[in-house]
């Protein structure tokens, strides 16, 4: 018998990963904006995501809406627990969304809108990282509700995860620009990626080392037999990807750095899965505790199976329409 | 003095009302505008008349800004159920969650996925494929309205669910009973027509603005004519649909209608229609009222002498706030009839062949530009405040739905939302008004500062434009 709850845990994880894949570089470009030259460099960077950012952010709505639908208890415990970072993220996305439109409309205030675009992107990325850390470090639960205070999420660990995600998104942004641009902008992006890659790896290492010390369960899940046979592969593969990323940047490959950075995020996600499973709120609520009833899960699964292939199809088509370098066959 | 949880609840309610009201403005406009764009592009393909293409490009820029603001304010809504109404989410998640997931899967992705091609892709794909993208965006806005109004309607008139041992709502035998709950068809028709009217009056006002400057402006004439046809046809239909929706509310949510009518007392021998007055909930009466005897029974029961219950039949703690509902419903109805008047006036002007010359009509249409937003908000307030004190009508109260949050957290977020929304969406609206102030020109490339699209569309700024004449426009 296939367990619907596990299927849904994977669907939500897929939606979150798709969000990171698609909006990570999008936010990363905003984070990198101050490092880019005002004018042509910034214009190109923004044009490289202008036709797709709406669709990218939709995965975030699916992650949130899907969590509500499939795991309502988790949704209703986790969101109040991370109230300030979630609100900050939402407001950051508002800044960004308006800046996308306003920047071109109002050249006289372009520096203001560039600032808005950057600060919105940094706030959103940092908040997402903080949210991750706050969840991993545990949430106080009483009955079916969050029982902690409104600043419990704030800790050195959650700040560290916030910084880590921000730096990682910036690397995604830089490698995306390598892929989508050429000439001076691409050169600049290579230089940025060369600095951001080690920073990302340091953050990833710091988070990985810190996490098992948060509570014993994490330590056990990672370092006892037989789990270690599987979990030991994660750092191993990470090492291989890091090596490949360095080579790709050095040899000036265009697409590989972006894909390899996504690989790092995928491994982070798998690591997260090893740490959490089968809990959705660490040590208190499992995915089975939190899951919606069978009727709801089946009803949604039918819709998901039918629609997701179409969604992936027309999303891929939209990217294909705007394929190529921004400068050559961009939107001009 | 309020306790901390009571204060936190009040703040959470204000925050939800504020964010949803702001959000609703954007789809109320973009649903109609997406359809209008599909009509314009369709007419262009059919007639090969470039005038339609010019109009299409003009309104597409405005659509881009509106849609972006709708997306980001909508993401806020999808998370706010959890951040501020977590008990509601836990209890009703099994029922409303799947409907909202369907909205994301069938509508949001469709709109957002095809939006890029619609905005920037005219030179990159064939005409028919581009038209297909425009259609998908328009259909997506409608599907979105379908699902979210189904959720809202289930909360107003819940059917098809069961309640488990933990007090949670769980789906019953059939999902169609949940989706097609009793108030849903009425709410869907009434809301979608409201969106069409909102767009028609915005388009009409922009056209009137340009006609007031130049009566010979052919593109303004075309817009004005199209908008006035919509007003003349949809406004009467909308009043009829609104009446049906009211009768549906009378059946399922009588307290809401009592508050709309200002009926504190029952009227066994025919209830009066109170046109104006000041509801006085302390004394349970309407002060200074002007009323038409028995007219309310005539409207609601189609019988002058039909008895109508008043709020005296409802427990005090289960009544909605009368004053707000009484006023908001009157504003909605008044705006609706003003729209009807404009529609009829335009027919008369058409008949007299003065549609494009009648300055007074143009001025009136200009003033009525924001009327759709006023009516939509007033109607939304009527239905949402009128179903208080419940989130799930009759079953779960608003007070029992809120998250266990500290008041300072909600106060801080509310202030942040107010400040950010007014600045950001204020700026976005300002840019839309600036675009509207420009007349529709045949040659977008020289007239506009960017290539095609405003923001997003426009690749770079003006300096690139000159060097890239084959712009997306």
Q: How far is B402 from chain A (nearest CA, A)?
A: 10
pLDDT band at B449 (very low <50, low <70, confident <90, very high): very low
Task: Show residues of chain B in contact with A127, CB under 8 Å.
Answer: none
Mean pLDDT computed over B180-198: 96
- B316-371 pLDDT tens trace: 889 999 989 999 999 999 999 999 999 999 999 999 999 999 999 999 999 999 99
- A202-230 pLDDT tens trace: 998 898 888 888 876 787 777 777 777 77
- Of the ranges A37-41, A207-211, A255-259, B214-218, which is most confident? A255-259
pLDDT band at B66 (very low <50, low <70, confident <90, very high): very high
pLDDT at A137 over 50: yes
Q: Do residue B98 and residue A296 have CB atoms under 8 angstroms apart?
A: yes
Dist. CA B387–CA B394, nearest whole Å: 9
Which of A120, A113, A101, A104 lies closest to A23 in space, CA to CA?
A120
Q: How far is B436 from chain A (nearest CA, A)?
A: 13
Mean pLDDT computed over B407-431: 93
Helices (H), ranges, A137-255: 156-180, 183-210, 216-223, 227-231, 233-250
pLDDT band at B456 (very low <50, low <70, confident <90, very high): very low
* Measured distance between the N- and C-terminal CA atoms of chain A, rounded to whole angstroms: 54
Residue A304 touches chain B, beta carbons under 8 Å: yes
**What residues contact A324, with CB distance under 8 A and at least 6 apart?**
A330
For chain B, the average pLDDT equals 88
pLDDT band at A109 (very low <50, low <70, confident <90, very high): confident
Mean pLDDT computed over A58-65: 90
Q: Do residue B461 and residue A105 have CB atoms under 8 angstroms apart?
A: no
Dist. CA A76–CA B144, nearest whole Å: 24
- Of the ranges A219-223, B188-192, B448-452, which is most confident? B188-192
ipTM of the complex, rounded to two decimals = 0.90
Dist. CA B41–CA A5, nearest whole Å: 45
Dist. CA A62–CA A76, nearest whole Å: 16
3-state secondary structure chain B: CCCHHHHHHHHHHHHHHHHHHHHHHHHHHHHHHHHHHHHHHHHHHHHCCHHHHHHHHHHHHHHHHHHHHHHHHHHHHHHHHHHHCHHHHHHHHHHHHHHHHHHHHHHHHHHHHHHHHHHHCCCCCCHHHHHHHHHHHHHHHHHHHHHHHHHHHHHHCCCCEEECCCCCEEECCCHHHHHCCCCHHHHHHHHHHHHHHHHHHHHHHHHHHHHHHCCCCHHHHHHHHHHHHHHHHHHHHHHHHHHHHHHHHHHHCHHHHHHHHCCCCCECCCCCEEEEEEEECCCCEEEEEEEECCHHHHHHHCCCCCCECCHHHCCHHHCCCHHHHHHHHHHHHHHHHHHHHHHHHHHHHHHCCCCCCCHHHHHHHHHCCCHHHHHHHHHHHHHHHHCCCEEECCCEECCCCCCCCCHHHHHHHHHHHHHHHHHHHHHHHHHHHHHHHCCCCCCHHHHCCCCCCCCCCCCCCHHHHHHCCCCCC
pLDDT at position B464 is 38
pLDDT at A7 over 90: yes
pLDDT at B442 over 70: no
Determine which of A47, A52, A82, A83 to mutate to test the interface with B (most B C-beta atoms within 10 Å): A83
For chain A, the average pLDDT equals 89
Dist. CA B28–CA B89, nearest whole Å: 25
pLDDT at position B326 is 93
Which of A120, A129, A138, A121 lies closest to A158 in space, CA to CA?
A129
Mean pLDDT computed over B168-180: 92
The answer to whether B379 touches B330, Cβ cutoff 8 Å, is no
**What residues contact A133, with CB distance under 8 A and at least 6 apart?**
A153, A155, A157, A158, A159, A160, A161, A162, A207
Residue of B nearest to A311 (CA): B109
- B90-143 pLDDT tens trace: 999 999 999 999 999 999 999 988 998 999 888 888 899 999 999 999 999 999
Residue A98 touches chain B, beta carbons under 8 Å: yes
**What residues contact B208, with CB distance under 8 A and at least 6 apart?**
B224, B361, B362, B363, B365, B366, B369
Residue B237 neighbours by CB distance under 10 Å: 13
Mean pLDDT computed over A281-292: 89
pLDDT at position B454 is 38
- Which class for B303: exposed (0-12), middle (13-18), buried (19 or more C-beta within 10 A)? exposed
| Tokens, residue B390 | 């419940």
pLDDT at position B334 is 95
Mean pLDDT computed over B307-314: 89
Which residues, in sequence order, are bridge partners of residue B308? B267
Determine which of A67, A76, A152, A285 to mutate to test the interface with B (most B C-beta atoms within 10 Å): A76
pLDDT at A244 over 70: yes
Q: Do residue B101 and residue A62 have CB atoms under 8 angstroms apart?
A: yes
pLDDT at B71 over 70: yes
Interior angle at CA B192, CA A62 and CA B370, nearest 5: 105
Total beta-carbon pairs less than 8 A apart between chain A and chain B: 294
pLDDT at A242 over 70: yes
| Tokens, residue B455 | 């923001």
Looking at the partner chain, which of B86, B104, B459 has a beta carbon nearest the beta carbon of A65? B104
């Amino acid at each position: 018998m296939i367990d619907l709850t596990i299927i849904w845990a994977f669907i939500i994880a897929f939606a979150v990963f798709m969000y990171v894949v698609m909006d990570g570089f999008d936010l990363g470009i905003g984070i990198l904006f101050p490092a880019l030259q005002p004018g042509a460099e910034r214009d190109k960077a923004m044009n490289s995501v202008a036709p797709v950012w709406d669709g990218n952010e939709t995965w975030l709505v699916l992650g949130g809406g899907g969590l509500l639908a499939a795991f309502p208890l988790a949704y209703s415990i986790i969101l109040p627990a991370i109230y300030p970072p979630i609100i900050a993220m939402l407001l950051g996305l508002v800044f960004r969304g308006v800046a996308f439109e306003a920047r071109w409309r109002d050249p006289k205030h372009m520096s203001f809108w560039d600032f808005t675009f950057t600060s919105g992107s940094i706030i959103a990325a940092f908040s997402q990282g903080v949210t991750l850390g706050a969840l991993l470090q545990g949430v106080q639960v009483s009955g079916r509700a969050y029982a902690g205070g409104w600043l419990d999420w704030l800790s050195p660990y959650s700040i560290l995860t916030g910084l880590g995600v921000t730096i990682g998104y910036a690397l995604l942004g830089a490698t995306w620009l390598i892929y989508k641009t050429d000439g001076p902008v691409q050169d600049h992006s290579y230089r940025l990626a060369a600095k951001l890659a080690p920073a990302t790896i340091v953050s990833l290492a710091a988070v990985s080392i810190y996490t098992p010390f948060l509570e014993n369960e994490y330590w056990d899940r990672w370092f006892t037999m037989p789990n270690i046979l599987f979990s030991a592969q994660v750092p191993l593969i990470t090492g291989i990807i890091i090596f490949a990323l360095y080579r790709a940047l050095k040899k000036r490959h265009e697409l590989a750095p972006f894909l390899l950075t996504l690989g790092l995020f995928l491994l982070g996600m798998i690591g997260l899965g090893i740490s959490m499973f089968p809990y959705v709120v660490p040590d208190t609520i499992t995915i089975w505790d939190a899951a919606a009833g069978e009727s709801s899960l089946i009803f949604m699964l039918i819709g998901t199976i039918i629609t997701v292939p179409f969604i992936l199809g027309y999303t891929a088509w939209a990217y294909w329409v705007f394929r190529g370098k921004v400068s050559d066959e961009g939107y001009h | 003095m309020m306790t901390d949880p009571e204060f936190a609840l009040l703040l959470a309610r204000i925050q939800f009302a504020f964010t949803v009201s702001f959000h609703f403005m954007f789809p109320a406009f973009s649903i109609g505008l997406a359809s209008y764009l599909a009509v314009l592009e369709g007419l262009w393909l059919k007639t090969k008349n470039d005038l339609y293409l010019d109009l299409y490009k003009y309104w597409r820029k405005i659509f881009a800004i509106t849609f972006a603001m709708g997306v980001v304010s909508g993401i806020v809504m999808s998370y706010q159920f959890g951040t501020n109404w977590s008990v509601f989410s836990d209890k009703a998640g099994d029922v409303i969650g799947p409907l909202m997931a369907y909205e994301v899967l069938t509508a949001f992705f469709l709109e957002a996925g095809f939006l890029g091609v619609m905005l920037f892709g005219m030179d990159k794909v064939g005409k028919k494929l581009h038209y297909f993208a425009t259609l998908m965006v328009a259909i997506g806005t409608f599907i979105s309205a379908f699902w979210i109004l189904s959720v809202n309607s289930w909360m107003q008139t819940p059917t098809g669910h069961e309640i488990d041992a933990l007090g949670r709502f769980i789906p019953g035998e059939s999902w169609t009973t949940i989706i097609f709950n009793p108030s849903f068809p009425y709410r869907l028709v009434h809301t979608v027509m409201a969106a069409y009217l909102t767009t028609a009056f915005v388009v009409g006002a922009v056209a009137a603005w340009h006609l007031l400057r130049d009566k010979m402006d052919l593109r303004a004439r075309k817009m004005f004519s199209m908008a006035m046809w919509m007003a003349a046809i949809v406004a009467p239909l909308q009043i009829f649909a609104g009446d049906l929706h009211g009768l549906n509310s009378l059946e399922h949510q009588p307290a809401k209608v009592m508050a709309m009518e200002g009926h504190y007392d029952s009227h066994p021998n025919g209830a009066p229609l109170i046109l104006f007055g000041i509801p006085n909930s302390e004394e349970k009466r309407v002060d200074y009222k002007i009323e038409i005897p028995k007219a309310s029974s005539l409207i609601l029961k189609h019988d002058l002498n039909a008895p109508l219950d008043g709020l005296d039949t409802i427990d005090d703690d289960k009544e909605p706030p009368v004053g707000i509902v009484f006023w908001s419903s009157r504003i909605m109805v008044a705006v609706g009839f003003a729209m009807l008047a404009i529609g009829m006036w335009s027919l008369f002007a058409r008949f007299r062949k003065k549609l494009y010359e009648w300055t007074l009509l143009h001025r009136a249409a200009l003033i009525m530009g924001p009327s759709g937003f006023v009516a939509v908000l007033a109607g939304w307030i009527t239905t949402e405040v009128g179903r208080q004190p419940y989130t799930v009508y009759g079953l779960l109260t608003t007070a029992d739905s809120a998250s266990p949050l500290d008041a300072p957290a909600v106060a801080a977020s509310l202030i942040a939302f107010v400040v950010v929304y007014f600045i950001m969406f204020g700026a976005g609206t300002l840019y839309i008004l600036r675009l509207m102030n420009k007349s529709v020109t045949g040659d977008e490339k020289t007239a506009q500062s960017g290539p095609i699209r405003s923001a997003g569309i426009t690749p770079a700024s003006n300096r690139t434009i000159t060097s890239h004449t084959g712009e997306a426009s």
